[in-house]
A and B are shown apart, each in its own frame.
Chain A
């Protein structure tokens, strides 16, 4: 890859978006969204993390190989979580939702 220099304008725009999303996640936490409070909080956090990865960490301008490594990181964490939860759930060590 040839080096891609990201303009400070983009950095400031990303920073402003991250500030807005931080305010939004605090506001949302004080609203009663029933079971969706957690989903909204995680959704906003994931969006913020994506902005940081794509722009602050330059991944948007990186080769596919870097995208593959990040995909692997997410996928391995998914395996970690899903396999652990399926074990705990099937042993009855944590309550099954709706039961």
Chain B
């Protein structure tokens, strides 16, 4: 790597006319990737739609077993990490010295999110809310407007092996928690990838790779991080906040 690679001069690969064309191409490429990510999560959201449509009461009752406080705190933490990510992009674009600091702060907030998520998963294990043979959702009381008898008995081709409202409810609640773990798990996996990308940016920034003439990698990782934030913005109300009034 030549010594001038961190100089103020624009850096672009040889297939591009200039740095601006390179930035346009890279930005477009990242958005094309995010389009495929929309469809990837779209499959999970479509499955969620089908089953919530079928079992509205079971989904609401299951949702009440999630911790609104922890979910809400995590929402604040994640949006806060998007703010620090945006500030890191700004610092990189203007050549400020805060790039490494803001990137590290973003990693700290992202790690805090994953830590709280781990605590929540642990609670679900303790409360027997992991889909499988040991699953048992226990409710002290059920709000009158959430009557599982009104849920579809047969939906999406799935019939309960042991008919009866209570057995059906346990069956349908496991579908909710399967979706909960699949959706939050895939989201968390994306965050782990994001933390790896941020660590790579920190190392590059410390070596002085970024300047106002070349801040594209920071901007592109920023796009990824904000996308993961958006996924959570939809997951939070759809999983944690179903018919909380009772």
Residues of A within 8 A of B244 (CB): 29-30
Q: Is B38 a contact partner of A76 (Cβ separation < 8 A)?
A: yes
Which residues of B from 194 to 243 have beta carbons under 8 Å from A?
Answer: 219, 222-223, 226-227, 229-230, 233-234, 236-238, 241-243
- Given the known interface contacts A22-B76, A41-B238, A65-B28, the answer about A5 and B94 at a Cβ–Cβ threshold of 8 Å is yes
Measured CB to CB, the closest approach of chain A to B109, in angstroms, equals 12
Q: Is B237 a contact partner of A41 (Cβ separation < 8 A)?
A: yes
Scoring B27, B87, B233, B238 by chain A CB atoms within 10 A of each residue's CB, the highest score goes to B233
Q: Is B24 a contact partner of A77 (Cβ separation < 8 A)?
A: no
- The chain A residue sitting closest to B238, CB to CB, is A41
Q: Is A56 a contact partner of B49 (Cβ separation < 8 A)?
A: no
Scoring A11, A31, A65, A76 by chain B CB atoms within 10 A of each residue's CB, the highest score goes to A11
Q: Is A85 a contact partner of B50 (Cβ separation < 8 A)?
A: yes
Residues of B within 8 A of A31 (CB): 245
Task: Name B49's contact: one of A5, A62, A66, A85 (CB within 8 Å).
Answer: A85
Q: Is B38 a contact partner of A73 (Cβ separation < 8 A)?
A: yes
Q: Determine if B125 is an interface residue (Cβ-Cβ < 8 Å).
A: no
Which residues of A from 70 to 99 have beta carbons under 8 Å from B?
Answer: 70, 72-74, 76-77, 80-81, 84-85, 88, 93-95
Q: Is A81 a contact partner of B46 (Cβ separation < 8 A)?
A: yes
Measured CB to CB, the closest approach of chain A to B175, in angstroms, equals 13
Residues of A within 8 A of B72 (CB): 22, 26
Q: Is B241 a contact partner of A26 (Cβ separation < 8 A)?
A: yes
Which residues of B from 72 to 104 have beta carbons under 8 Å from A?
Answer: 72, 75-76, 79-80, 82-83, 85-87, 90, 93-94
Q: Determine if B156 is an interface residue (Cβ-Cβ < 8 Å).
A: yes
15 A-B Cβ contacts within 8 A? Answer: A1-B20, A3-B93, A5-B90, A11-B83, A11-B87, A15-B83, A18-B79, A26-B72, A30-B244, A57-B222, A57-B226, A57-B227, A63-B24, A70-B31, A81-B46
Other contacts beyond A25-B237, A76-B42: 19, CB < 8 A: A25-B236, A29-B245, A45-B234, A45-B238, A52-B229, A52-B230, A56-B83, A56-B85, A62-B27, A73-B35, A73-B38, A76-B38, A77-B45, A84-B46, A93-B156, A94-B152, A94-B156, A95-B53, A95-B152
| Residues of B near any A CB (own CB < 8 A) | 20, 23-24, 27-28, 31-32, 34-35, 38-39, 42-43, 45-46, 49-50, 53-54, 68, 72, 75-76, 79-80, 82-83, 85-87, 90, 93-94, 152, 155-157, 219, 222-223, 226-227, 229-230, 233-234, 236-238, 241-245
